[in-house]
Chain A
């Protein structure tokens, strides 16, 4: 580690050091699934798809699902009256780094049964895609766009999968991935240079760039306004409209 430590401006540019990546811990089937009816039903109905479950932080049930049939399972969880998870509170991602799969996390809540459930779907790095649940819960729309933007997971069947927080033309990747450096892909100097090199005309119309020439009014309009007529508008803008 000592060899890699930088000093002076280089160290400033690199920034602080993040949490270390580790090897994956083995997923287990811990906790008594009969305590949570949904976990028990999931194991019974989709036993092959459930890769593990556990109780996290005292009372929160988590299940790991294979991403292949996630849409079918989530559809069932929403529409089956015994479970009825009508609220998709959150969709997010976790990247552990070290080549481990990015996990898509669903936080669900059932208002009918007052029951919460967390599902985690590990998506392998070489095929980062999973079915969108936007057709089931409209709340997943922006949340999935955010996961796409920040983690690079493609949601198949999403009606409008665009970047949401980063600019549309952002080309440096997905910022919340562990391989993305905290201060961006390039040095501060390079970032500044790129920002200054941007083509301004991509963002503005050519007319807007011509420093505000005052609008011409024809003589009759000027006269009308002077006479107190408030309806008179500049002839120039009428033509434009």
Chain B
């Protein structure tokens, strides 16, 4: 009878026990008889309502035994045509649509959108506003990566990192709430500034988070990085070469895990990112494990960027000093004729844009997020507002990545891409 050797603890010394405990592993390789099973092609459907697809994603898989021979993703279940809605809204009214796309890192989307509009209109925001936005974007990078960490660990059977990461996410939720009044749908930015300046004590709260957060990362490192089950489930799974990754449109940590150091913050710097000191972590194998390591390291880099930004945060106004762009204060609008007129014009008409188009790419937690706005002379609504969704393009690679893997690996690969369906379907 044919036998096959069952290998446990792939990629690690067999001396180490399960979970990296150091004790000898009870799961030494042993021979089991190959069962006489006929295999046949099978078509199975995963989703759209399935906890392991991380949203309303439907995957139709063709299986040979347990091996995936082809995957066809079906998307669009959450499509609400935000881009069409945007054409019927003034520039500032679009902001709430942006955070409903990636509700796992809403502030990045808020910022990216207004940055694009400001660039189109040639508005230079204040120094304080720039640095506040850098802080918020890096905070939400941690926010997005933490959710990815927790839910992906669950997909390979590790429950504890989920609890640890959500404990820390809760602290960021509190920071969101203190700043904007909302926990997920932040809508914190406005063209030319922010909805409000940082509230009193917010930075102290942030500092407290930054002091405690790296400890959680350390704990998760202990739980996952050397964990043999985690290594066995992720190393060598979903491998893609650097050349293919670029051709398939990978961006963000997924691309960097293949060894390409492409980071929009370094390659096309915005908001003085070139003056911040931070590393771009890159992997070398382009598999799920390297994607995990890249994201873990990115969170540490984000903490460092936030600290640097806090150190250079100047006082001063957060909104641009232009009555045609920023709303006057409530007191002024009620008591000063001039301010009231500006308030009225801004609310009823909106901000007129020059003729042109602008593509603003920023590094979101999931990859290159592009906001493309097109306007005609004097338009207070965009002719076209396009979001270049990073996870949409990242997800389109899944048929290539999953081919030849087991169904259980397909779940891991899907999780490792860090998708959010709100943004894929828009």
Contacts and interface: CB of A to CB of B under 8 A. Distances in A.
A138 B247 contact: yes
B386 interface: yes
Interface stretch (A45-53, A91-99, A185-193, A209-217): A91-99
B417 interface: no
A92 B372 contact: yes
Interface in B312-369: 355-359, 361, 368
Most chain B beta-carbon contacts within 10 A, residue among A15, A90, A118, A143: A90
Given A62-B357, A89-B370, A141 B88 contact: no
A17 B87 CA distance: 9
Given A58-B122, A89-B388, A94-B384, A138 B248 contact: yes
A166 B79 contact: yes
A228 interface: no
A133 to B, nearest CB: 11
A140 B248 CA distance: 8
Nearest to B247: A138
Interface string A144-181: 00100010000000000001111100000001100010
Nearest to A23: B376
B246 interface: yes
A105 interface: yes
A111 B262 contact: yes
B262 A142 contact: no
B119 interface: yes
A90 B251 CA distance: 12
B190 to A, nearest CB: 19
A142 B88 contact: no
B247 A107 contact: no
B372 A182 contact: no
B268 interface: yes
Among B246, B382, B397, the most chain A Cβ lie within 10 Å of the Cβ of B246
A105 B249 contact: no
Nearest to A178: B87
B89 to A, nearest CB: 8
A30 to B, nearest CB: 11
Contacts of A19: 87-88, 376, 379-383
Contact of A57 (B119, B248, B425, B426): B119
30 contacts: A19-B376, A19-B382, A56-B357, A87-B249, A89-B251, A92-B372, A94-B357, A94-B374, A94-B384, A95-B384, A107-B359, A109-B268, A114-B268, A116-B359, A116-B361, A118-B359, A138-B247, A138-B248, A140-B249, A141-B396, A142-B392, A142-B395, A143-B249, A164-B76, A165-B426, A175-B84, A176-B83, A180-B84, A182-B84, A182-B88
Interface of B: 75-76, 79, 81, 83-85, 87-89, 119-120, 122, 244, 246-249, 251, 260, 262, 267-268, 355-359, 361, 368, 370, 372, 374, 376-377, 379-384, 386, 388, 392-393, 395-397, 425-426
Given A19-B382, A57-B358, A118-B357, 12 more contacts: A19-B379, A22-B376, A87-B246, A88-B249, A89-B249, A92-B372, A94-B374, A94-B384, A138-B397, A140-B249, A166-B76, A176-B83
